[in-house]
Chain A
Amino acid sequence: MNDRDPLDRPLSAAYRPGVAYDEMYDKEAGVRSHYAALQSRISTLGAGELADRQRTLEQSFLLQGITFTVYGAETSTEQIIPTDLFPRIIPAAEWAKIEAGLAQRLQALNLFLADIYGDQIILKDGVVPRDLVLGAPAYRREMQGLYVPHKAYANVCGSDLIRNEAGEFVVLEDNLRVPSGVSYMLANRDAAKRTFPGTYRTSGVRSIERYPDMLLATLKTLAAEWRPNPQVVVLTPGVYNSAYYEHAYLARLMGAPLVEGRDLVVHDNLVYMRTTVGLKRVDVIYRRVDDDYIDHLTFRRDSALGAAGLFNAYRAGNVVIANAPGAGVADDKAVYAYVPEIIRYYLDQEPILSNVETYLCREPKQLGYVLDNLDKLVVKAVGASGGYGMLVGPHASAQERSDFAQQLKADPSNYIAQPTIQLSTAPCLVDGAIEPRHVDLRPFILCGDKIVVTPGALTRVALKRGSLVVNSSQGGGSKDTWVLTGENETTAAGDLPA
Chain B
Amino acid sequence: MMLARVADSLYWMGRYIERAEHVSRLSDVMLTASLDATGDAPRAARTALGAPEDIDEGKTAVDVALGLILDREDPGSVIVSVARARENARQVRDQITSETWERLNLLFLRITSPDAKRQFDQRAVTFLHEVISDLHLFKGAVDSTMSHGEGWRFLMLGIYLERAQLIARLLDASFGEAAQGSPLSDHLSQMGLLRMACALEPYLRVYTADIQPRLIQEFLLFNEDFPRSIRFSTARIEEHLRALAGHGNVQASGVPERLAGRLSSRLRFADLEETATSGAGGLLATVSQDCGRIHEAIYGAFVAYPLEQHLPT
Write the residues of chain A forming the contact surface with B, with a CB cutoff of 8 angstroms.
Answer: 62-65, 75-78, 234, 239, 244-245, 248-249, 251-252, 256-260, 262-263, 265, 267-268, 273-280
The main secondary structure of chain A at its interface with chain B is: mixed
Closest to B96 in A: A252
Stretch at the interface among B137-145, B175-183, B244-252, B279-287: B244-252
Distance of A240 from chain B, by nearest CB (Å) = 10
Instruction: Identify the interface centre among A62, A268, A274, A279: most chain B CB within 10 Å of its CB.
Output: A274
Specify which of A64, A256, A276 is in contact with B303 (CB 8 Å cutoff). A276
Specify which of B95, B302, B311 is in contact with A267 (CB 8 Å cutoff). B311
| Chain A residues in 8 Å Cβ range of B55 | none
B2 touches A65 (CB 8 A): no
Specify which of B1, B247, B302 is in contact with A280 (CB 8 Å cutoff). B1
Per CB-CB distance, the 5 closest pairs between chain A and chain B, nearest first, are: A277-B248, A248-B93, A278-B310, A251-B94, A252-B94
Chain B contacts with A in 90-147, Cβ cutoff 8 A? 90-95, 98, 101-102, 105-106, 109, 112, 114
Chain B contacts with A in 229-249, Cβ cutoff 8 A? 244, 247-249
Distance of A347 from chain B, by nearest CB (Å) = 39
A75 touches B112 (CB 8 A): yes
B4 touches A274 (CB 8 A): yes
Specify which of A239, A278, A280 is in contact with B249 (CB 8 Å cutoff). A278
B249 touches A65 (CB 8 A): no
B311 touches A276 (CB 8 A): no
A77 touches B114 (CB 8 A): yes
Query: With A77-B114, A78-B109 known to touch, is A276 a contact of B94 (CB < 8 Å)?
Result: no
Closest to A281 in B: B312
Query: With A65-B101, A277-B249, A278-B309 known to touch, is A263 a contact of B3 (CB < 8 Å)?
Result: yes
Closest to A254 in B: B94
| Chain A residues in 8 Å Cβ range of B214 | none
How many B residues face the partner with a CB closer than 8 A? 36
CA distance A267 to B307 in the complex (A): 10
Chain B contacts with A in 295-313, Cβ cutoff 8 A? 302-303, 305, 307, 309-312
CA distance A279 to B4 in the complex (A): 10
Q: Does B187 contact A (CB under 8 A)?
A: no
| Chain B residues in 8 Å Cβ range of A259 | 3
Task: Jot down 7 A-B pairs with beta carbons below 8 A, ordered by A.
Answer: A65-B105, A248-B94, A265-B307, A267-B311, A267-B312, A276-B4, A276-B150
Specify which of A267, A274, A278 is in contact with B5 (CB 8 Å cutoff). A274
Distance of A260 from chain B, by nearest CB (Å) = 7
Write the residues of chain B forming the contact surface with A, with a CB cutoff of 8 angstroms.
Answer: 1-7, 87, 90-95, 98, 101-102, 105-106, 109, 112, 114, 150, 154, 244, 247-249, 302-303, 305, 307, 309-312
Specify which of A248, A267, A274 is in contact with B3 (CB 8 Å cutoff). A274
B307 touches A276 (CB 8 A): no
Query: With A278-B249, A279-B307 known to touch, is A263 a contact of B93 (CB < 8 Å)?
Result: no
CA distance A76 to B86 in the complex (A): 14
Distance of B279 from chain A, by nearest CB (Å) = 39
Distance of B100 from chain A, by nearest CB (Å) = 12
Closest to B89 in A: A65
Specify which of B94, B95, B98, B310 is in contact with A279 (CB 8 Å cutoff). B310
Instruction: Identify the interface centre among A248, A259, A263, A265: most chain B CB within 10 Å of its CB.
Output: A248
| Chain A residues in 8 Å Cβ range of B112 | 75-77
CA distance A77 to B244 in the complex (A): 38
A244 touches B248 (CB 8 A): no
Distance of A214 from chain B, by nearest CB (Å) = 18
Other 9 A-B pairs with CB < 8 A, given A64-B102, A263-B5: A239-B87, A252-B95, A260-B5, A263-B3, A265-B307, A274-B307, A276-B244, A276-B303, A278-B249
CA distance A210 to B2 in the complex (A): 25
CA distance A7 to B91 in the complex (A): 44
Query: With A239-B90, A258-B94 known to touch, is A276 a contact of B1 (CB < 8 Å)?
Result: yes
| Chain B residues in 8 Å Cβ range of A257 | 2-3, 6, 94
Closest to A258 in B: B94
B3 touches A273 (CB 8 A): yes
A239 touches B91 (CB 8 A): yes
Closest to A244 in B: B90
CA distance A437 to B102 in the complex (A): 32
| Chain B residues in 8 Å Cβ range of A248 | 90, 93-94
